Structure 1
Amino acid sequence: MKMSVGVEYALHCLLYIVKLKGKDYVGIKDLAEFQGVSESYLAKVFTKLGKAGITKSVSGVKGGYELAKDPENISFWDVVEAVEGKEPLFQCAEIRQKNILIDQNNLPDSYTKCPCFIKVVMQEGEDEMKKYLSKKTLAWLYNEVYGRILPAETENKTHQWFKSKRETI
């Protein structure tokens, strides 16, 4: 399985806007520059985040993006679904029903009335991943990154960088 890099960009960018106050919106251009990613690509990611109710855009000269709900209520899985879609990761094509040894016009019950065991196992794996990623929120990420992993001044430098960009508008 491979998730697009859009999930990573989304989570990093959302991390930067967790603690925005009042009218300290962040624009796509600034987020893209800070991350070193294409502005048009990131705009598509943020469109998906907006449609999912994770972010909201504020129009105007000093507009930009902010979280649409509390970071405690935005899970990693919410972001994955917003960026990648809600379709299951594994798509069962019922290959077992195309086996050359069985009569295609008269499939036995074991091929039609019980679920494909491979599909069952893959769905259970996806359910476990969903359960795990649903427990990890943006608030948790923020506390881990800025409270435990990075030096204290990194958070201030990050916020100052974005603030300085807004001041030049």
Structure 2
Amino acid sequence: MAWTPAGEAVNSARLAEYYKLPGAYLNKQLQALVRAGVMTSVSGPRGGFLLARRPENITVLDVVLALEGPEPAFRCEGILGNSPEADTEMNFVRSCLISQTMRQAELVWRQALARQTIAGIADSMERRFPEDRQKALDFLAADAG
């Protein structure tokens, strides 16, 4: 969608067909992106979805948070508290070395995603596969059916 002209909506059915995804699944994901302010939906015969901001202002982290939510990927269950003679007052989320390692890894992962923009991915794709941009635009612009 970073390749589509500004203000031009992409039909979700065409997008689902292009990526061979179930339409209902893709629509659910697109609606989550709309709720997060990453995309905008347009109703009507020429409706569909478009980026709500310029591609260089949308990070991969924005997309991940919109689709997966802000909660950490790793959730410490505090199983160390179940060990014999465990200190019930201890915060195992903070003291567990596994939890600390996972939180540190997630921070690095999120920082990497925050540095990568949708525009950067589109530019890399175009350099690596120069013919794909026009193929995608032609497919998405064609009448569905």
Shift of 1:108: 6.5
Preserved contact between residue 16 and residue 26 of structure 2 (Cα < 8 Å): yes
Q: List per-residue Cα deviations over 1:86-142 (Å, max 9, x = no partner).
A: 11011011111111x216xxx276x34863222111100000001111111101001
Query: Counterpart of 1:157?
Result: 135
Q: Is structure 2 residue 59 aligned with structure 1 residue 71?
A: no
Aligned to 1:13: none
Structure 1 unaligned regions, length at least 5: 1-16
- % identity of equivalent residues: 31
| 1:1-169 equivalence runs, <5 A | 17-99=1-83, 101-102=84-85, 107=87, 111-112=90-91, 115-146=95-126, 148-151=127-130, 153-165=131-143
CA RMSD of aligned residues (A): 2.0
Larger Rg: 1
Change (3 A) 1:96 1:78: same
**What CA distance in whole angstroms lies between the structure 2 residues aligned with 1:90 and 1:24?**
38
**Are residues 22 and 70 of structure 1, via their aligned partners in 2, closer, same or farther at CA, if it must alter by over 3 Å?**
closer
Contact 1:24 1:163 in 2 (8 A): no
Are the counterparts in 1 of residues 10 and 49 from structure 2 also a CA contact under 8 Å? yes
d(CA) in 2 for partners of 1:155, 1:31? 14
Gap change, CA 1:87 and 1:23, over 3 Å in 2: closer
Structure 1-normalised TM-score? 0.78
Q: Provide TM-score, normalisation by structure 2.
A: 0.90
Shift of 1:21: 2.3
Are the aligned partners of 2:81 and 2:88 in contact in 1 as well (CA < 8 Å)? no
Contact 2:56 2:120 in 1 (8 A): yes
